[in-house]
Amino acid sequence: MKRRTFLQRIGSILAVLGITEAEWWTLGARYYQALAQPTPRKLALLIGINQYRKSPPLSGCLTDVELQKELLIHRFGFLAANILTLTDEQASREFIEAAFLDHFGKQVKSDDVVVFHFSGYGTRIKLNESEDTLHNALVPTNENLEIQDEKIATYLLEETLLLLLRSLPTERVTAVLDTSYDAPSQIQPAGLQIRARQELATAQLATAEIEFLQQLKTKTSLNTAVILSATSDPKQVAKEALFSGFSAGLFTYALTQYLWETTPATTIQFSLSHVDSAMYKLGSKQQPSLVNSKKVLTNENLLLDQNIGAEGVIIATEEDGKTVQLWLGGLQPQVLEYYGVNSRLTSASGKQLILRSRTGLTAKAQISSLEAANPVEVGQLVQEAVRVLPRNINLNIALDSGLERIERVDATSAFAAMASMASIVTGEQPSDYVFAKLAQTPSRYGLFTPGGQLIPNSTGEVGEAVKVAVMRLAMKLPHLLAAKLWRLTENEGSSRLPVKGSLEIVNSISPKVIVQRETLRTTDTKLAKKSLSTQHFQLSTPTIPIGSRIQYRIQNKGDRSIYLMLLGLKNHRTAIAFYPWQTPEEPNTSETKPLLQQVVIAPGETVTLPHNTATSGWAISGPAYECEHQLILSIAPFSTTLKALEMAKYPTGDQQPIGALVNPWEIVQTLLQDLHNASTATDETNGIASDSYMLDVNNWASFNFNFQVT
């Protein structure tokens, strides 16, 4: 299915019940508002099922419950005693409905906030044999029974859940369903696990569930409920992925991670511009949706329990307060995997915490100073201060389970020849790409994202040998590795540089803003709040018509000059960059070669790329393609990077403002070195410079933009 992007990019949430863009905008705001109301009670029921009696086990549903629980407690002010969790064998249909009635039905009052979460399998089923309509249903752990050769499905219908939510005496009801209902019939390359189960045609829904649904339908007093579903189309599938030491649902992780970093001034327009992008970078085209029962128009800012964004929280202290345990749910997935020892975070009390070890989402950190003033406490939020990344990062390639043994041996041997750039990983390690056969032509090999998307131009001829196929990919891997490296610089949530960037379509009247990014954690909090509340937002992932002209507008809102680099990946295959060529005004000879110059933005100034003239912008030519750009800013010049660019062997006369990177992997390494050089070195951090990059959040900012050309 062609990629459509959803009404904003956190999951970019596409309205599926005839909701207009404006209505989605405000309904989404209500969802966040409900979580953050200053009410005496906030109640949650969180359900996650990894282990099923008959279906293959899932891996990330219990992590989803943990992600939601930590978020609700530390960012939205829920009391742990008011959060009920049902996991694995506890989550039968009977127990789920009983817990709902007991935890919510007997307690909820008109001013209470209610949150329901489900992670597990979904499916579709008929209510009875006489009808043809299939109904969405959540699959509990006791998925079905066999009685006298009949299969009785003990499912919880989505319609039942919606009526249960709407029957509560409060309008502050929200739910997140990280599941899907229609399992694909075609086998996909092994990568992300699918949360959908194909139902047997002979299965019958349990009579008790049908009777319960009919009973709920008799209720006449129904309030509003807002449900966020992990998919926006019946044929789409919700997926979970293996991350750094844990598995989780793509939607739940992207949603909770962004909410850790966001600030109280953030409106729904800003909040919902990130999740789809996050899942896209993880190799999935999954697009969540908003399913609501009534159109209610509100326009509220996101009100969080604490007034600062964070990358995590202190969950325990050890060794008489010398070390702490951290929950790092606010770090982006791609960054968390490489978040190195000696990375630094700052507690709400001002203490610097030095990372010493990490397992999954939890870490141990040493307190840099132990003076009694402003002690650290459990529950204090922590913010990123210094990001430490290893220098020896390569691409993780998984081999699809559909490959035969000899094919796997040959592929492993061939990839070993390019060990500095790519390595084979097993099923217990996260992968960036999957090497697999094409389903339509099993004698052809290609490279896929973990979500099953074929990388353009990665396939060879019919009957191609495995080793030949792998060696053919050697020209493509540097481009993909370069993109992986520059994504590790993304820090819109944690950067302290006050910067705003906009992608615009240039026309004869005035530029049209397509998408906008701005650092959230500046020193001037009042300024940040004011600017966020007045930003313009595109309510869908950008689509740019062929023939358009685009430009970037970057505003330096700080008191220091900043320097800029723009890199990108076109159609998942070709790394590109912005080249600020400059020809001397008085060349000595006719053969004077243009040179690259730094793009510098003075304090308080705004620049456009390319510079604003009558023919400004880059012309967008066809055919259709997908593109991502990384806009990277630093307080220091990109001297090493520009020198490396100038040394590249470019064709004569190819000095275009934007063009292909001849040596992308090497260029991004020099860029990381420039960011490292821009960071403030101290006696404590000098020791890690030889094998790691050290990046100070005060000194760099990095935004990711992606769009489609159609």
Residue 555 parent element (H or E): strand 549-556
Q: In terms of C-beta density within 10 A (0-12 exposed, 13-18 middle, 19 or more buried), how is residue 74 classed? A: buried
Which pLDDT does position 203 carry in this prediction?
82
Q: Is the pLDDT of residue 84 over 50?
A: yes
**Separation of alpha carbons 9 and 275, rounded Å:** 5
Span 194-205, average pLDDT = 84
Q: Dump pLDDT digits (tens) for 485-533.
A: 999 999 999 999 999 999 999 887 788 898 889 998 875 444 444 443 3
- For 372, phi then psi, to 5°, come to -65, -30
Topology alike, domains 14-292 and 395-483: yes
Q: What percent of the chain has pLDDT over 70?
A: 79
**Separation of alpha carbons 75 and 243, rounded Å:** 23
Question: Is 366 in contact with 342 (CB distance < 8 Å)?
Answer: no
| Per-residue burial over 119-136, b = 16 or more CB atoms within 10 Å of its CB, e = otherwise | bbbbbbbbbeeeeeeebb
Q: Among 352-361, 380-389, 399-408, 426-435, where is mean pLDDT lowest?
A: 426-435
**Separation of alpha carbons 228 and 289, rounded Å:** 6
CATH assignment, 14-292: 3.40.50.1460
| pLDDT interval class at 15 (50, 70, 90) | very low
| pLDDT interval class at 426 (50, 70, 90) | confident
Copy the structure tokens of residue 181: 């209902």
Q: Is the pLDDT of residue 30 over 60?
A: no
Which pLDDT does position 453 carry in this prediction?
85
For residue 548, the tally of other CB atoms under 10 A from its CB is 17
Q: Dump pLDDT digits (tens) for 671-692.
A: 999 999 998 654 445 555 578 9
Q: Dump pLDDT digits (tens) for 562-599.
A: 999 999 999 888 899 988 877 666 555 555 666 888 99
Which pLDDT does position 420 carry in this prediction?
87
Question: Is 238 in contact with 286 (CB distance < 8 Å)?
Answer: yes
**Among 195, 259, 185, 199, which residue's Cα sits nearest to residue 229?**
195
Question: Is 396 in contact with 421 (CB distance < 8 Å)?
Answer: no
Which pLDDT does position 285 carry in this prediction?
59
Q: Which residue has the tokens 């403002």?
A: 657
Q: Which fold has domain 312-390?
A: Elongation Factor Tu (Ef-tu); domain 3 (2.40.30)
Q: Among 174-188, 398-412, 576-590, 696-710, where is mean pLDDT lowest?
A: 576-590
pTM, entire model: 0.87
Q: Mean pLDDT, the chain, as a whole number? A: 82
Peptide bond before residue 610 is cis, with ω within 30 degrees of 0: yes
**Separation of alpha carbons 310 and 517, rounded Å:** 18
**Separation of alpha carbons 256 and 359, rounded Å:** 19
Question: Is 43 in contact with 112 (CB distance < 8 Å)?
Answer: yes
Which pLDDT does position 301 carry in this prediction?
38
Domain extents in the chain? 14-292, 312-390, 395-483, 488-709
Q: How far apart are the first and last CA of the chain?
A: 15
Question: Is 562 in contact with 698 (CB distance < 8 Å)?
Answer: no
| pLDDT interval class at 363 (50, 70, 90) | very high
The helix/strand/coil state of 151 is: strand
**Selected residue with higher pLDDT from 258 and 300:** 258
According to DSSP, the β-strands at 625-634 and 562-570 are antiparallel
| pLDDT interval class at 469 (50, 70, 90) | very high
Beta bridge partners of 395: 422
Q: In angstroms, how far apart are the furthest CA atoms of the chain?
A: 95
CATH assignment, 395-483: 3.40.50
Which pLDDT does position 12 carry in this prediction?
30
| pLDDT interval class at 276 (50, 70, 90) | low
| pLDDT interval class at 133 (50, 70, 90) | confident
Q: Dump pLDDT digits (tens) for 437-447.
A: 998 787 899 99
**Among 227, 282, 230, 233, which residue's Cα sits nearest to residue 28?**
227
